Structure 1
Amino acid sequence: MTTLYILIGLCFQQLYQASARAVIMTPMDPIVATGSDLNMICTLDASTTYTSRDIIWTTSFGKDTDRIDPSKIDIISDSEAMLRLQNLTMANYKDQYHCYLPDSSWHGTYVYVGMAPTKPTLNCFSTNIIDYWCEWSEIENTNLKDTYTFEYEYKHLLKRTTDCASLMQFGREFQSIGAA
């Protein structure tokens, strides 16, 4: 019976070692501004016998995967290599980059490229203290997921801030100006 427990333990140890990552890539899922540069680091696990010169770098978008030009890769140490991405554009939005060793699972990350969001223009109009309506300009496409919340405040009555969307329950209308 003891032999069985030892064999099971050895099997779990082998499974754990096989599932452990041989490489770690940083940063994970970075968001960068259009025109920026980004350095990505691939670090080897201390238990591997490979060096950073053995790291394979690839990029993919959709089903296409390509090896990265070695001139964009710097060897930092025996255990770290750096990929230099320069002047990223909107065309690079959500590209995926991977680093891995021969006969090893890969570690990858998405790179999100876009423009910094601009502050929207919000105009509200009223003919009295209770009834009013608001309009806002469309937000320029940043190529990133943006979320805007419009709020209003009754300064003289309730002294609290409320999300504009909640006004729909009171029958007030909102519309976006400049919509395409």
Structure 2
Amino acid sequence: MDTPALLVLFYIALFTCCLAGAEEDGIAIIKTGEVLVLDCFVEGPGGEQDHEVVWLLDGNQVSNASRLVLEDLDHTYHGSNITCYNGTALVQSRIIHFHHEDVLEAGETLRLNCTTYPTTASDVTWHHSNKMVTSDWVITDLDNGTSQLMIPNVMLDDSGVYSCMSPQGATIKVFNVSIGLFPQAPEVDCFGCNTVDFTCEWKDISDTHLPTDVTYEYKEYG
């Protein structure tokens, strides 16, 4: 009789994580698939919650609840203005920044395109959240009025937020770039007397510098 064989399969996937509705300096940051949640609490004369709250999106009323929840937002909302009013008093104002996500393996070439109309492509400046422009950045003005940033052979420290800006200092487009290493499946050792009582051991996978999900699957063949 053939002895049943044990097979342990490993599935490894890379993914990026983000926080919906992250805020910084009057900016509401969203990414693909996220839900934007903003709160606008106003105290009444006695310290109670004042419910005379109105949320406007580009001047159009979208809610009169203290908590604003917006779903299905995409890049077309980049630059839109969200304001909360209590009566005629402005309580808070946010500008939506849509972050385009790019995940690359170290050693690949990064290309980011920024359509600049009515600003000419040559007037656009590129910025990185963690470092200044370096000599390996190649900035090209494409025929369709687009400024392209190319970085060959990206490294781990090229991760971060990239933005292209107009001469007036306005942000035109924002990119969230994550650079990682391709995960390697760990070596697995399994031992036991039968297919029911056995033990498997393995070492942690090497650091990919990205959130990495590892799934283990056991199959019995007889």
TM-score when scaled to structure 2? 0.50
Return the match for 1:128 from 172, 184, 194.
194
Q: Which amino acid aligns with 1:56?
A: T
When you count helix as a share of all residues, which structure comes out higher? 1
Which residue of structure 1 lines up, in the alignment, with residue 140 of structure 2? 74
- Cα RMSD for the two superposed structures: 3.3
The DSSP-based 3-state class of the residue aligned with 2:101 is: coil
Q: Which amino acid aligns with 2:105?
A: A
The DSSP-based 3-state class of the residue aligned with 2:212 is: coil
Whichever of the two has the greater Rg, that structure is 1
Runs of 4 or more, structure 1, over 3 Å off, are 65-71
The DSSP-based 3-state class of the residue aligned with 1:29 is: strand
- 2:59 is the counterpart of 1:12: yes
Higher relative contact order (CA 8 A, sep 6+): 2
Q: CA deviation at 1:122?
A: 1.9
CA distance in 2, matches of 1:112, 1:125: 39
TM-score when scaled to structure 1? 0.60
* Structure 1: unaligned runs, 5 residues or longer: 1-10, 157-180
The DSSP-based 3-state class of the residue aligned with 1:130 is: coil
Q: CA deviation at 1:88?
A: 1.2
When you count strand as a share of all residues, which structure comes out higher? 2
Number of equivalences? 134
Q: Which amino acid aligns with 1:141?
A: D
Q: Is the 8 A contact 1:59 1:98 kept in 2?
A: yes
Measured against aligned partners, the alpha-carbon deviations of 1:18-72 in whole angstroms (never above 9, x if no partner) come to: 7389xx98xx32122212221111013xxx53221222211112xxx64577972
Q: How does 1:24-173 map to 2 (within 5 A)?
A: 28-44=100-116, 48-61=117-130, 66=132, 72-77=138-143, 79-92=145-158, 94-101=159-166, 102-155=168-221
Q: Is the 8 A contact 2:162 2:174 kept in 1?
A: yes
Instruction: Check 1:110–1:155 CA distance in 2 against 1; reply closer, same or farther (3 A cut).
Output: same
CA distance in 2, matches of 1:34, 1:150: 26
